[in-house]
Amino acid sequence: MPALQATSKRASNQFPLLPLITAGVIIAALYFGKELLIPFALALLLSFLLAPPVTWLERMRLGRAASVAIVLVLAFSIAGGLIWLGLGQLTGIVASLPQYQDNIRVKLQALRSPAGPGLVSAADTLKNLKNELAANALKAEKPRDQIARAQSRANPNPPAPVPVEIVNHDSGVLQSLGLVSASLANVLAMAAAVVVLTLFMLAQRSPLRNRLFGLFGQTHLILMTTALDDAATRVSRYLLTQSLVNASYGALLGFGLYFVGVPYAPFWGVLAALLRFIPYLGTFFAGACPFILSLAVFDGWQRPLLTLAVFGVIEIATSSVLEPWLYATRTGISSLAILLSAAFWTLIWGPIGLILSTPLTVCLAVLGRHVPPLEFLYVLLGDEPVLTADVRFYQRLLAMDDDEADGIAAQALKEKTLTEVYDSLLIPALGLAEQDRHENRLDAERAAFLFQATSEVIQELADDQAAVAEAAKSGESPAPANPLSILCMPSRDRADELAGMMLVELVRRQGNHAELLHLADLDGTNAPVKRPGIDVLFVSALPPFAVIHARSACRRARQANPGAKIVLGLWNSVLPAEKIADRLGKPTCDAIVTSLAEAEALLKPAEMPAAEVETASRA
């Protein structure tokens, strides 16, 4: 038995290394298998892009083979034509550069020359210092020359110098042509593999899908169907939208450069549209290339700066207006994930990895969204908030960062009413605090800070809302005809008191007379609270450990105040009021509410006169 326990302990200690080993093996496989995986990934990307037009042609009753053939011929013809025209334009640009040598030399000289008398003086000073250092070096060399002449007279037959032969290892034109031919052959081989794989994936979509489903088994049909549909939809929509955005970008840039007078403006527009498929770096090169050419072509700086301005205006308009409008359905990954994935795939697969980084990351995020063991991928890569607002608020209070917690609450108040902020943000955060406190995970120092900060947030939100309401008020609001006299008492804890504080703020805004009984007023005793003349006595209790104390508090309140209506607020409870009433046993209160919105509606003066309490749910 001890041996088995030792073995189990060693296995448990080694288990945390298993994910790291698995990740290392996967990364190594991606790196060393890139010659095979890159064509496959490119073909998969093209199949996602070309699948919608193929499906559309199939619906036109052309047949799968004809549809695939037509789409591939058109796609690769357009790509080949663009490459051919681009090479022709590039050849023209290279051939015309020598005639701009003088202009380039003038601009370089202008950049090198000092601007201003101060810089001229500094340059002259440095030049004089350099000459003095050179003169000192010549003086230091004279004694060495004299010693060398003396040694030569003492030894008239010095050893002969060793002959040195400089060998020129010029590889020659043939070797250069061989390297170019090998690179071109690799590119053509990869292109041929991509074409064949794309043809196969488009023509055999159904058999491939069926085999994939068979690989994962019938028990995962729903999961795999949802994941594949989600991935295909996101990637296809991303590629089509990106193609539309880049085409518009290239057209606008081409027209802008044409009016500026930059040579080969259509070529730069097409090149910019293609380069924008490369995240981050593509945009930089799309603007740098025509700007550099304008420096060589035009005299002065006006047109180069105008070229840069055209690029800047189009880039800002595209990234700030066009892309947010067209990306109504997002890819589902965050900007940080796109940046990190671009660096990762570039490191693994080079420049092609940079192009493939976003679609591959989308697929990984979809897998993490639908496959539970890979959920960490969606948490790391997804763009949806990982933590809800109440959890973020609670976490910042745990970190004793009340400034950011105030910011979260203030932002919530801009989007919701005060009642909704209390119900959806503060009370759930207090519930989390109560859960941790009762399970001894929340220490006394943090608990005290959390409750004090929450009390301040409640008051600040109420003051802000009151200021907004006062500014929006056009005249004097009429007082309610029959306001209620309400006393709110906490069931047991500080969290119950804070929830009651929120209730009092809300019902006072309705025109009621409300008072909060603090824990300090109870002195920690179970003595019944007597308050003559009140209409409603509200017991505030916050789960998860509040039902028993709420029952006893309601009973004591009823005994001490027989003429008042007793209402129990069991905040943020997952149970409906009927279930709560069953757990409380015999009737101990007149109504049960589970949210401040319900309590606010119940305690409206017009709907709940002092003589009769309308209950939301009879206990």
Residue 56's pLDDT band (cuts 50, 70, 90): confident
- pLDDT for 514 equals 85
pTM of the model: 0.64
CB 344 within 8 A of CB 393: no
Residue 523's pLDDT band (cuts 50, 70, 90): low
The mean of the pLDDT values for the chain is 77
DSSP-based three-state secondary structure for 382? strand
Q: Which residues contact 317 (CB under 8 A, 6 or more apart)?
A: 252
| Burial annotation 317-330 (CB, 10 A radius, 16+ → b, else e) | ebeeebeeebeeee
How does pLDDT run across 459-516, given as a tens digit for each residue?
888 887 777 666 656 555 555 657 888 888 888 888 888 998 999 888 888 888 888 8
Q: What is the CATH number of domain 389-469?
A: 1.10.1240.10
Check residues 239 and 105 and name the one with the higher pLDDT.
239
Confidence check: pLDDT of 167 > 60 = no
- pLDDT for 6 equals 45
- pLDDT for 10 equals 46
How does pLDDT run across 346-390, given as a tens digit for each residue?
888 888 888 888 888 888 888 888 877 777 888 888 777 778 888
In the numeric block, the tokens 């970008």 are attached to 249
Which residue type, as a one-letter code, is found at position 500?
G
Tokens coding 196: 């064949």
**How many angstroms separate the CA atoms of 614 and 597, rounded?**
15
Task: Assess whether the region 389-469 and the region 485-602 belong to the same CATH fold.
Answer: no
Average pLDDT of the segment spanning 95-114: 69
Q: What percent of the chain has pLDDT over 90?
A: 2
DSSP-based three-state secondary structure for 331? coil
Q: Where are the domains of the chain?
A: 330-384, 389-469, 485-602
In the sheet that holds 536-541, the strands lie side by side as 513-516, 485-490, 536-541, 565-570, 591-593
CB 393 within 8 A of CB 315: no
Check residues 449 and 531 and name the one with the higher pLDDT.
449
Check residues 101 and 451 and name the one with the higher pLDDT.
451
Confidence check: pLDDT of 127 > 80 = no
Note the CATH architecture for domain 485-602: 3-Layer(aba) Sandwich (3.40)
Check residues 174 and 87 and name the one with the higher pLDDT.
87
What's the maximum distance between 2 C-alpha atoms anywhere in the chain? 134
CB 362 within 8 A of CB 238: yes
- pLDDT for 9 equals 45
DSSP state of 333: B
Check residues 301 and 180 and name the one with the higher pLDDT.
301
